[in-house]
Chain A
Amino acid sequence: MRAASASFAAACLVGAAATCAHAEPIPTLPPYTAAYQPQGVDERGLWMEFDEFERTLRDSKAVINDPALMAYLRGVVCRTVGSSRCETVRIYVVRDASFNASMAPNGMMVIHSGLLLRSRNEAELAAVLGHEFAHFELRHSLAQFKRRRTAGDIVAWVGVAAVGAYAYGGANTYSVIRNAQSVQTAVIGGLYANGREQERQADLLSMAYLKASPYEPHCFADLWNRQMNEADATARGRKQRSTRYDRVAFFATHPTSLDRATYLRAIASETGKAGDEGQVSFMTAMTAWRPEFLDDQLKLNDFEGTDFLLGELAGAQWTPDLLYARGELYRGRGNPRDLVSAIGFYREALSGNATFAEAYRGIGLAQMRNHDPAGVDALKRYLSLKPDASDRAMISMLVQ
């Protein structure tokens, strides 16, 4: 399973850091074989391991089983890569607040809920899913698996030669060992460079899908830009250095986000195509789940990153659910000034939805923490709006 996991990780969307940023011509869509079966021992073995992994994942409690959401996501994949390509894909949404998605060599697509939260429209989601599908169609996991094995062999045998030289001595011992180390370093470096090349190929093929789809190709770069800004905000909040402009790290499996956003935007412009963003359909599909995903995000203890994310999701229009989440975020940090801000956000949420029970709860608790007796009234209002609240007994004690 280890080799398979490693190649699976290589097929993931988000990585460390970096490469070139030229507007390259996007490829024409390659011919597609439906119901492709694995060829050769390596590929059959890889598929077998992922089949096993998929059986486990299917029964995992982290997987969201919502038929409406699944049908919607299948629709997005099919509109992105075309109906013949999407038929065999199995989609799993995993409750994971990180921004990621991946596709295994056997056609299993895994979407993290954090990606669904961060996408602002269907076109952005389509771009990421298209990228993952491109890894699958280009059979990147298999190629990387083979390269990894070959590299492992070379590193091991060169190591044996170096140990032999050391053990038996001789005039050239030092240079043999140095050369062995150079070879090993070059081979390992080549492996990661190949991973970055695969990411670029997948980006290019993804743009080819988008060009043929009804979606707007510029959205991919928009998503990357926001992702970089969010990472910057997180770093700022934690008093760390932003890694946004880092050069290619030796072990980086992905191009830097900045490079990626730049070349994706250039390619999108070259397609000369304007498509549909699909914002309304996306927001409708996420209605039931967004409060849950926001709740997951709030638990991450990432004040700056979450505040930035909420602002980006809101754009020009703060909706009650986002205002409530922002209130929860500020109340969670809990400085006296944060509590005042939080009460403001809850109140704004209530002006959009007067029966938003949890917003009254937030106001009440924020006021109580700031020693404001008015909190009692807000908590009473919460209880009257939500008589079956799971924390009813606790809140009742506070209002006595």
Chain B
Amino acid sequence: MKPKFSNAPLMIALAFSTPAFASNTLVTSGTGVAVAKSPLTVVPDREWNKMGARPGRRSETWTIDGDGLNDLTFYGGIESNSTLFREVSKRLKPLPRYSSTMLLTDIPALFENSYSIALDTQLMKIDQVEPTTFLGQKGVRFMYSFSLKGEDVRRKGEASGAIISGKLYLISFEAPELFYFDRDVAGYRNIVAAAKLGLPQS
């Protein structure tokens, strides 16, 4: 069986990452850490593994058990006219671009379309969209689910995002619906609730 990756951004990063074989590192529990080379700062309440391969310039992915089993992805300030993550093929499968004029309701659609294109699946769906407070601002929280072509695993995801000074900040979590999602989603929600824009504080 061919290896499959549930995480669209990471899947792309693994193919095109620079440096190609950046190593994974341990993120310790209880310490504030700046993520995605941005002012976005989180305090994990358990240990995570930071994947060396990053989905894009403004993002990074953490996992507990391995890519595809639980993926926590931070998007730290996507700028206007940029894609959410690196494109699989600029020529054949260009990704939609974020725009600072977007409404919060446009963010789930941007996310859905980017995933559909990058994963080449029509089985990516936004299930629910609701308002939330994220990084102290009006934000959007949405649940999604998807399956990859030729794979039976059903994956669930949740994301919270906000547009701050024209830039998009987003944290998403996705895992197989069976077992992993329910087990790990609480840890993700804690991270989202405590996320801040600013320097890390220990």
Taking a contact as CB atoms under 8 Å apart, the answer to whether B105 and A113 are in contact is no
Given A62-B122, A113-B122, A299 and B131 touching (CB < 8 A)?
no
Q: Chain A residue with minimal CB distance to B83?
A: A301
Taking a contact as CB atoms under 8 Å apart, the answer to whether B103 and A332 are in contact is no
Q: Chain A residue with minimal CB distance to B91?
A: A240
Given A299-B116, A394-B140, A61 and B123 touching (CB < 8 A)?
yes
Cβ of B102 within 8 Å of any chain A Cβ, yes or no, is: yes
Within 8 A of A (CB), among B124-175: 127-131, 138, 140, 147, 149-150, 152, 154
Contact of A369 among B103, B121, B127, B147 (CB under 8 A): B103
In the complex, per-residue mask of A90-114: 1 if CB is within 8 Å of any chain B CB, else 0? 0000011100000000000000010
Give chain B's interface secondary structure class.
Answer: loop
Taking a contact as CB atoms under 8 Å apart, the answer to whether B150 and A56 are in contact is yes
Between A and B, 26 residue pairs with Cβ closer than 8 Å are: A60-B152, A61-B147, A61-B152, A61-B154, A62-B121, A62-B122, A62-B123, A95-B123, A96-B122, A96-B149, A113-B122, A299-B112, A299-B122, A300-B113, A301-B113, A332-B96, A334-B99, A365-B105, A369-B102, A369-B103, A390-B127, A393-B129, A397-B138, A398-B103, A398-B104, A398-B105
In the complex, per-residue mask of A291-305: 1 if CB is within 8 Å of any chain B CB, else 0? 000001001110000
CB distance from A359 to the nearest CB of B (A): 15
Cβ of A44 within 8 Å of any chain B Cβ, yes or no, is: no
CB distance from B15 to the nearest CB of A (A): 19
Cβ of B182 within 8 Å of any chain A Cβ, yes or no, is: no
> How far is it, in angstroms, between the C-alpha of A60 and the C-alpha of B121 when the chains are bound?
12
> How far is it, in angstroms, between the C-alpha of A395 and the C-alpha of B106 when the chains are bound?
11
Q: Chain A residue with minimal CB distance to B143?
A: A390
Number of interface residues of B (CB under 8 A): 31
* B91, B127, B130 interface centre (most CB from chain A within 10 Å): B130
Number of interface residues of A (CB under 8 A): 28
Taking a contact as CB atoms under 8 Å apart, the answer to whether B101 and A62 are in contact is no
CB distance from A399 to the nearest CB of B (A): 11
In the complex, per-residue mask of A364-396: 1 if CB is within 8 Å of any chain B CB, else 0? 010011000000000000000000001101111
Residues of B within 8 A of A95 (CB): 122-123
* B104, B131, B147 interface centre (most CB from chain A within 10 Å): B131
Taking a contact as CB atoms under 8 Å apart, the answer to whether A301 and B96 are in contact is yes
Cβ of B30 within 8 Å of any chain A Cβ, yes or no, is: no
Beyond known contacts A62-B149, A391-B128, A393-B129: 18 more, CB 8 A cutoff: A62-B121, A95-B123, A96-B122, A113-B122, A240-B91, A296-B116, A299-B113, A299-B116, A300-B116, A301-B117, A332-B96, A332-B113, A334-B101, A334-B106, A390-B129, A394-B104, A394-B130, A394-B131
Q: Which residues of B contact A (CB under 8 A)?
A: 91, 94-96, 99, 101-106, 109, 112-113, 116-117, 121-123, 127-131, 138, 140, 147, 149-150, 152, 154
Cβ of A238 within 8 Å of any chain B Cβ, yes or no, is: yes
Cβ of A66 within 8 Å of any chain B Cβ, yes or no, is: no
Q: Chain B residue with minimal CB distance to A368?
A: B103
Cβ of A52 within 8 Å of any chain B Cβ, yes or no, is: no
Taking a contact as CB atoms under 8 Å apart, the answer to whether B102 and A334 are in contact is yes
